[in-house]
Amino acid sequence: MWVEKHRPKTVRDIKGQSATVERLAVYGEKTSFPHLLFAGPPGTGKTTAALALCKDVFGEDTRDNLLEMNASDERKLESIRTKVKQFARTRPLGGATFKVIFLDEADSLTSDAQGALRRIMEQYAETCRFILSCNYSSKVIEPIQSRCAVFRFRPLADDQVREQIMAISKAEGVKLDEDACEAIIHVSLGDLRRAITALQVSASLDIHVTRSLIYETTATAPPEELHGFLLACREDGFHPARRRLRSILDQFGLAGTDMVNQLHRALYDAEFLTETQKLELTEVMAQIDFRLVEGGGEALQLDALTATICANLSS
């Protein structure tokens, strides 16, 4: 697959995280580095950066000196005490001065497991380094954070996502319309993994990828459809707006929370709304989203959202 073939082999091959790459590249040129914590949204290169750094340091001996674990699968205390501790206490191979344990999704570890991990990081600091990867660094206990050099990854810029998507579509022989590429950028929100998946799913249905195909296969409503719903609320009243909402949900396969989140994103691009109206609707959407997450009935909550928007925009 194109993605695996072109995965960055060194830290300096990573794009879109310039300041982070420069700092990590320094570690790759040395014989040692501290414990590391990579935090940031998904699809921004945290796992790739960890593997590329280990290849920079160990070269051909990477396989012998790296233990890669997904902490969400082995999140209990016993896994830390057995698998991690056993690997940490053994000597490095191939002339390396230390080993590396890479814990992906470290924010899934239980508090007991994190407590045990903290002690292991102290005991075997001379022969083992830890690289922790997580989406939310606040879920990692403070004693572990203080032992690590923290690197925060940010969502990729639009031009960087565009460059990768165009390269993939060209290599795979996919005809990608320009507005379809912009649609992929819109739905990815800086997540390159999501962008590649959107392209792959669409290309599996039709080798000619269009804008409408992207939105239909990613369960995302186009901005103009959401703006049309807001206009219907303002000008047509509750019942036409409710029918418009149902049409959007059925056509694009949206769940209630998806609809609220996408409508919130489209709200700030709606030039026909005043700043005061946008503020009021944001508060309304926050309340509806909370009720949906807490288990409220989807149909009733979305009708309540529509009724409130109609009342606010018509006044």
Measure the CA–CA gap between 128 and 101, rounded to whole angstroms. 7
Q: What's residue 20's pLDDT?
A: 77
Residue 286: predicted pLDDT: 94
- Is the Cβ–Cβ distance between 187 and 218 less than 8 Å? yes
From the CB of residue 110, how many other CB atoms can be counted at a distance below 10 Å?
Answer: 13
Amino acid 142 reads E
Average pLDDT score over residue span 299-315: 89
Q: Terminus-to-terminus CA distance in the chain, angstroms? A: 55
Tell me, which fold does domain 223-314 have in CATH? Zinc Finger, Delta Prime; domain 3 (1.20.272)
Count of all residues that appear for the chain in the document: 315
Predicted confidence at residue 66, as pLDDT, reads: 85
CA distance 30 to 228: 57
Specify the 3-state DSSP secondary structure of 130: strand
Structure confidence at residue 74 (pLDDT): 62
All structural domains of the chain with their residue ranges: 2-152, 158-217, 223-314
Q: What is the CATH number of domain 158-217?
A: 1.10.8.60
pLDDT at 7: 67
Of the pLDDT bands very low, low, confident and very high (cuts 50, 70, 90), residue 184 is very high
Range 263-291 average pLDDT: 90
**Of 77-81, 133-137, 279-283, the least confident:** 77-81
Alpha-carbon distance of 286 to 281, in angstroms, equals 9
CA-to-CA separations, 88 to 59, 85, 140, in angstroms, rounded: 20, 5, 20
> What's the pTM value of the predicted model, to 2 decimals?
0.81
Instruction: Tell me the average pLDDT across 76-81.
Output: 69
Confidence band (pLDDT; 50, 70, 90) for 181? very high
Instruction: Give the confidence band of 282 by pLDDT, cuts at 50, 70, 90.
Output: very high
Contact (Cβ atoms closer than 8 angstroms) between residue 24 and residue 11: yes
**Is a pLDDT exceeding 80 seen at residue 171?**
yes
Q: How far apart are CA 160 and CA 269, in angstroms?
A: 23
The H or E element containing residue 15 is none
State the chain's mean pLDDT as an integer: 85
Instruction: Indicate if the pLDDT at residue 227 is higher than 80.
Output: yes
Confidence of residue 289 (pLDDT cuts 50, 70, 90): very high
Q: Measured in whole angstroms, how far is the alpha carbon of residue 45 from the centre of its chain?
A: 10
Chain segment 112-142, per-residue pLDDT in tens: 888 888 888 888 888 888 899 988 888 888 9
pLDDT over 90 at 47, yes or no: no
Backbone angles phi, psi at 313, to 5 degrees: -80, -25
Q: Is the pLDDT of residue 40 over 60?
A: yes
How much of the chain exceeds pLDDT 90, in percent? 26
Cα(68)–Cα(102) distance, rounded to whole angstroms? Answer: 5
- Contact of 61 with 28, CB cutoff 8 Å: no
| CATH 1.10.8.60 is held by the domain 2-152 | no
Q: What values do phi and psi take at 192, rounded to 5?
A: -65, -35
